[in-house]
Amino acid sequence: MCRSVSADWGTSSSLPSLLQPLPALAAFKLFLFSSPLAIVVVFSIVIGLLMIVLFGYTSNQKAIKLAKDQLKAHLLAVRLFQDQLHVVMGSYGRILRGTGRYLKLAFMPLLYVIIPITFLIVQLDRYLGLTGIPANAPFLLTVHVSNSDVLNDVALELPPEVMMTAPPVHAPAAHEIIWRLAASKEGAYGVKLAAAGQSVTKTLNVSSEVVRVSPVRLRGQFWERVFSSTEDVIPDISPIESIAIDYPERNIDLYGYYEINWIWLFFILSMIAGFIFKEILGIQV
C-alpha cells in the first residue's frame, strides 16, 4: 500500500499543481508589504473596523440611538410645521439640546478612538510619509547649533559609502551648517558629527523600498521628537541642537491618475470602511 502511494506521488501531476500557487502567493506578499498603496488600503480597512468596534464597546448604544431618533423627530417637525413659527422655534431649540446630548454621549467613545489612531498614524508616517534617499542622488544634511561660535568647530565623519559633493555652507545668522552629500549604494548608515568634544550620530537610510526613516534628531523638544523623530535625544551637554536630513516626501500614486498624501487617503478609506462596517455590525455612531 505504501509503495503504491509513493509511486502515485512520483508520477502524479498533482504535486506541481499544488506548488504552482506559491510564486503567486510570494508575489502577493511582496506587493502587500512593499507597495505603499497596498499598505494604506489594508490598514485603512483594518482601522475602519477597529474604530467602529471600539466605538460600539465604549459607547451607550441605546442612549445614542434614542438621541438620534429624537433629532430626526425634531427635524421632521420643522418640515411638517414650517408655517407655525412657535412650533418651528421650539423644534430648533430641542434640536440644539439634542445635538448637545448626542455630542456628550459620543465624546468619550470618540476620545478612546482618536488617541490610539493618532498614535498609529504617527508610527505609520515614519514609513509612509517620507521615502529613503535614492542611491547616487544628492541630499542635504543640516546641523543646527546653539551658538554660532562653534560652527567652525563642527566636524563631519562619513562612512565610506557616503561622500560630500560640495563644500559645506555656513549660515551664522541661522546657527546652521549645511552639507550636500550622496550615497553610492543602498543601506542604513551612521553619519557622525562632533563639536566641543561631543559626538552625535544621525541615522541615514538610503533605499528604494518602504523603510522607517527619521528626518531629524533633536535635543530636548519632547513633543516634536514624539511626532517627527525615531532617534534618541541629543545629550544636553552637546552644542548641537538638531541634525536633519531632507528625505523626499512620499505621495501615493493612484495608478498614474492622481497623487495624494497617504494620510488623506487613509482618512478617506478608513471612513468609508467604518461606515460600511457600521451598517454590517449595526453599531450606532
pLDDT tier at 16, thresholds 50, 70, 90 = very low
d(CA 274, CA 52): 6
25 or 214, higher pLDDT: 214
Question: Is residue 68, in this structure, part of any structural domain at all?
Answer: yes
Question: Is residue 14, in this structure, part of any structural domain at all?
Answer: no
- My answer on whether 59 and 107 are in the same domain is yes
Q: Kindly report which listed range (12-16, 147-151, 190-194, 262-266) carries the lowest average pLDDT score.
A: 12-16
- My answer on whether 147 and 212 are in the same domain is yes
Question: Is residue 123, in this structure, part of any structural domain at all?
Answer: yes
Q: What pLDDT does residue 23 have?
A: 55
d(CA 252, CA 270): 16
Q: What pLDDT does residue 33 have?
A: 55
Domain assignment of residue 79, given as a range:
34-129+261-281
- My answer on whether 122 and 210 are in the same domain is no
- My answer on whether 114 and 156 are in the same domain is no
Question: Is residue 180, in this structure, part of any structural domain at all?
Answer: yes
Q: Decide if 242 contacts 216 (C-beta within 8 A).
A: yes
- My answer on whether 117 and 54 are in the same domain is yes
Per-residue cell: 209: 523600498
Q: Which residues contact 266 (CB under 8 A, 6 or more apart)?
A: 40, 43, 44, 47, 121, 124
Q: What pLDDT does residue 189 have?
A: 95
Q: What pLDDT does residue 79 have?
A: 82
Q: Kindly report which listed range (84-98, 227-241, 248-262) carries the lowest average pLDDT score.
A: 84-98
- My answer on whether 201 and 270 are in the same domain is no
156 or 31, higher pLDDT: 156
**What b/e readout covers 157-180, taking b as 16+ CB neighbours within 10 angstroms?**
ebeeebeeeeeeeeeeeebbbbbe
Q: Work out the average pLDDT over 113-136.
A: 90
- My answer on whether 216 and 172 are in the same domain is yes
Q: What pLDDT does residue 255 have?
A: 74
| pLDDT above 60 (res 19) | no
Q: Work out the average pLDDT over 119-137.
A: 92
d(CA 260, CA 252): 5
Residue with cell 441605546: 62
Phi and psi (nearest 5°) for 9?
Answer: -65, -35
- My answer on whether 54 and 149 are in the same domain is no
Question: Is residue 6, in this structure, part of any structural domain at all?
Answer: no
Q: Kindly report which listed range (172-181, 205-214, 255-264) carries the lowest average pLDDT score.
A: 255-264
Question: Is residue 1, in this structure, part of any structural domain at all?
Answer: no
d(CA 95, CA 99): 6
Q: What is the percentage of the chain residues whose pLDDT exceeds 70?
A: 88
Question: Is residue 256, in this structure, part of any structural domain at all?
Answer: no
| pLDDT above 70 (res 104) | yes
Q: Kindly report which listed range (73-77, 125-129, 244-248, 253-257) carries the lowest average pLDDT score.
A: 253-257
- My answer on whether 237 and 200 are in the same domain is yes
- My answer on whether 97 and 170 are in the same domain is no
Q: Number of folded domains in the chain? A: 2
15 or 153, higher pLDDT: 153
Q: Which of 165, 183, 118, 173 is nearest to 144 (CA)?
A: 173
Q: Decide if 266 contacts 43 (C-beta within 8 A).
A: yes
Q: What is the percentage of the chain residues whose pLDDT exceeds 90?
A: 42
Q: What pLDDT does residue 144 have?
A: 94
Q: What pLDDT does residue 34 have?
A: 65
Around Cβ 100, how many Cβ atoms within 10 Å? 11
Residue type at position 253: D
175: domain CATH number? 2.60.40
d(CA 34, CA 281): 32
| pLDDT above 70 (res 12) | no
Question: Is residue 8, in this structure, part of any structural domain at all?
Answer: no
Condensed to tens digits (0 to 9), the pLDDT of residues 183-215 reads 999 999 999 999 888 899 999 999 988 899 999
Q: Work out the average pLDDT over 91-96.
A: 84
Q: What pLDDT does residue 11 have?
A: 40
For all residues of the chain together, what is the average pLDDT?
84
